[in-house]
Structure 1
Amino acid sequence: MTGTETPRDTPAGPPGESPALRPRPAGRPRTTPSRPDGAGPVVDCGVYVAGRRQEPVDPHDALTQAVEQGGFVWLGIYAPTEEELGAIAEHYGLHPLAVEDAVYAHQRPKLEGYDDDLFMVLKTATYVEHDRLTATSEVVETGEVMVFLGAHYVITVRHGEHGGLADLRQSLEEQPDLLCLGPSAVLYAVADHVVDAFVDVASAVEDDVDELEASVFSDRRTDDIGRLYQLKRELMSLRRAVSPLEVPLQRLAERRTPAVPEAMRSYFRDVQDHAIRVRDQVAGLDELLTSILQASLARTSQADNEDMRKISAWAGIIAVPTAIAGIYGMNFEFMPELRWRYGYPLVLLVIVTACVLLYRGFKRNGWL
């Protein structure tokens, strides 16, 4: 699913400021694109009780209402600063190490436990459309989604232009039976959404691999080495996002975790199975690209050898008239047949005969 999360009807704070967070300090470096001017990091906040979303609530009061009603709050955040996320962390009691990871991003997919709470990092990926793959084409664009999970809250922190969760939230709200299982249902849905995106990206990359394979083994001579290296680099980004995800999902599926009820473990087992299949598909594509690259290098080497043989064959043919002309061009006074009437046409006949014989010999041996 694509798109970006859009704010719902939550009470507005002061102009140009998020209702829950302080404004961004000037000059702080950011690893993801800046938000629109005046936009806060909170893109959506909802309280869910018995699988149903409640009336719009102020983010300041969301956790209190969720605890009082026996539900949970889902807070969606986009590219927060350290100060912005710090304000939320203090309110929800988030661990400072997890908060640091969520702010600066560029994390490896992982799952960490802090008391009864969980913190999970997932890499997102999307396929970048292009008319033709080149040696500089961007094929896979990655981002990150971090999930804080507690007994009465789930906080999703997103970095990157893609991987919006608005459609996912809407889809989940149409499944109250799943939301009844608590915050871990949101974690499952986010993980499933990310892995499904991996499947789509891997399928699209496979089309690029097929195109390169057809180009390498076509009858025409093409220079595909640069494109092959670029696609391998882009595929490596996808592999780094997919491969480490297996261990966190296995932990959620097989180990007892306070934040994840028993009923949710089968859901995570299904996501783990999909992730393993994508991992195998990506590994297979990488091996296939390696084989295609080796074949391309072999064909290039073979083509160079063929060119060298042709050049050598023509050089051998040209050497005959060059040698004869060089001998009779030395201008010595006493040379055999120098003043013979038929010497000139005989030399020409010898040259043509020798060249024809050499040409036929090289042609028969595949050098021409």
Structure 2
Amino acid sequence: MPHLRPGGFVTPRRDKRPLPRIPVPAARAVVDCAVYVDGERRHGRVSYRDALHEVRSNAEGFVWLGLHSPDDDQMEDVGRVFGLHELVVEDAVNAHQRPKLEVYDDTQFLVLRTVKYVEHESMDKASEVVETGEIMIFVGPDFVVTVRHGEHGGLAGVRRRLEESPASLKLGPYSVMHAIADQVVDSYLDVTDLIETDIDAMEEDIFSPQAQTNIESIYLLKREIVELRRAVSPLATDLQRIGSEHDDLINVEIRRYMRDVLDHTIKAAERIASYDELLSSLVQAALGKVAMQQNIDMRKISAWVAIAAVPTALAGIYGMNFEDMPELDWAFGYPTVLLVMVTVCLLLYRTFRRNNWL
């Protein structure tokens, strides 16, 4: 039946087919787009179509287009303008790619996983330690297209630093790729430093005799280390390819810079591998500590049960209603039995204390 609306009665829509999706212009995903000539940015905001047309018409400079989380239609339009292969266009839309380097003719496609340390009061209260995202870089002879997924790892700072250093931008579009890779890899080292602090605190807690050990927090941190390892370790192989002397697409100076980034990546990967091994050892130590605590608790319980068994047995015996039982008619029989109970219990307590059972 019709539904009442502020403007009157509206007949409900009977066609249950999904409404056609309205395409969102690619410009909505653009963070920044600029033309760089001789290391200097051309002033004025231009579309990426006009920017690429300007560069190719004048046969100088390059375009740097920055995108944030584009959808299928937006990325397809960018791919058509810059001549990107359809496979890498699909990868750029679908996040959660592994770090990789692919070469399509004169275009290189580099995927970097970004990481961010999530602040927390303690590991017991943390639900996440490392937040990951992605940056995808398309580099051609006269353009750089960067696609970022995630709420961290913004490239505005990288662009600003490069614009303040025209000598770097003069090296061409691959200088942008180096600057982005350098920032991402430096963040790996920063995150590993912060994680090391968490591991040190956890290690101190595990080997403190009176502290309660939360094994779940160790497993949480180990899971985050595994995620971090997946983001960092595969990148070393791809950076070796970029820094190779046989890569004719990149000039010699950029290859030297990329080898420095490779060194930092290997350093971060080695740190992460050592943290993984250390956490495995901490898991074993924590399990051993829990098992030892359980043994101590069982010894205490067994000792108290043994002490309680003496009065229980005597009370059970004298609680039976038989006439011919020893000392039933003796005036001091009752206090004597109580005294025997207390004496035996004290002797047992002393023995257990001496043997560190209590």
TM value normalised by structure 2 = 0.89
Aligned partner (choices 42, 46, 52) of residue 63 of structure 1? 52
2:40 and 2:158 map into 1 onto residues whose CA distance is 15
Asked whether the 8 Å contact 1:49–1:69 carries over to 2, the reply is no
Corresponding residue of 2:180: 190
SS of residue in 2 equivalent to 1:47 = strand
2:26 and 2:168 map into 1 onto residues whose CA distance is 35
Asked whether the 8 Å contact 2:36–2:62 carries over to 1, the reply is yes
SS of residue in 2 equivalent to 1:232 = helix
Q: In the TM superposition, what is the alpha-carbon distance from 1:265 to its structure 2 partner?
A: 1.0
- The farther-off stretch of 124-133 and 58-67 is 58-67
Aligned partner (choices 149, 156, 159) of residue 159 of structure 1? 149
Corresponding residue of 1:175: 165
SS of residue in 2 equivalent to 1:222 = coil
Match status 1:54 vs 2:42? yes
Asked whether the 8 Å contact 1:149–1:259 carries over to 2, the reply is no
Partner amino acid, structure 2, of 1:267: Y
SS of residue in 1 equivalent to 2:138 = strand
Aligned partner (choices 109, 123, 135) of residue 145 of structure 1? 135
Aligned partner (choices 231, 236, 241) of residue 241 of structure 1? 231
Q: In the TM superposition, what is the alpha-carbon distance from 1:38 to its structure 2 partner?
A: 10
Q: Provide Cα deviations, 1:238-284, integer angstroms capped at 9, x if missing partner.
A: 11111111011011112422321122111111001000111111111
- Relative distance call for 1:39 and 1:333 in structure 2 (3 A) is farther
1:337 and 1:196 map into 2 onto residues whose CA distance is 87
Number of aligned residue pairs:
337
Q: Provide Cα deviations, 1:274-297, integer angstroms capped at 9, x if missing partner.
A: 001111111112222222222111
2:247 and 2:107 map into 1 onto residues whose CA distance is 9
Q: How does 1:265-284 map to 2 (within 5 A)?
A: 265-284=255-274
1:38 and 1:145 map into 2 onto residues whose CA distance is 18
Partner amino acid, structure 1, of 2:324: F
SS of residue in 1 equivalent to 2:63 = strand
Q: How does 1:1-368 map to 2 (within 5 A)?
A: 26=21, 40-56=28-44, 57-67=46-56, 68-134=58-124, 137-368=127-358
Partner amino acid, structure 1, of 2:103: G
1:293 and 1:178 map into 2 onto residues whose CA distance is 47
SS of residue in 2 equivalent to 1:254 = coil
2:121 and 2:26 map into 1 onto residues whose CA distance is 36
Any unmatched runs of 5+ in structure 1?
1-24, 29-34
- The farther-off stretch of 137-146 and 206-215 is 206-215
SS of residue in 2 equivalent to 1:168 = helix
SS of residue in 2 equivalent to 1:162 = coil
Corresponding residue of 1:31: none
2:279 and 2:342 map into 1 onto residues whose CA distance is 50
2:331 and 2:81 map into 1 onto residues whose CA distance is 113
SS of residue in 2 equivalent to 1:358 = helix
SS of residue in 2 equivalent to 1:337 = coil
Asked whether the 8 Å contact 2:26–2:77 carries over to 1, the reply is no
Asked whether the 8 Å contact 2:76–2:89 carries over to 1, the reply is yes
2:124 and 2:353 map into 1 onto residues whose CA distance is 37
Any unmatched runs of 5+ in structure 2?
1-19
Higher relative contact order (CA 8 A, sep 6+): 1
SS of residue in 2 equivalent to 1:121 = strand
- The farther-off stretch of 301-310 and 287-296 is 287-296
Q: In the TM superposition, what is the alpha-carbon distance from 1:194 to its structure 2 partner?
A: 0.5
1:126 and 1:136 map into 2 onto residues whose CA distance is 14
Partner amino acid, structure 2, of 1:222: Q
Asked whether the 8 Å contact 2:68–2:147 carries over to 1, the reply is yes
Q: Provide Cα deviations, 1:37-62, integer angstroms capped at 9, x if missing partner.
A: 99711111111122111232432221
Q: In the TM superposition, what is the alpha-carbon distance from 1:134 to its structure 2 partner?
A: 3.0
- The farther-off stretch of 282-291 and 139-148 is 282-291
1:316 and 1:119 map into 2 onto residues whose CA distance is 73
| C-alpha RMSD of matched pairs (Å) | 2.0
Asked whether the 8 Å contact 2:116–2:130 carries over to 1, the reply is yes
- Relative distance call for 1:38 and 1:365 in structure 2 (3 A) is same
1:54 and 1:207 map into 2 onto residues whose CA distance is 45
SS of residue in 1 equivalent to 2:264 = helix
SS of residue in 2 equivalent to 1:353 = helix
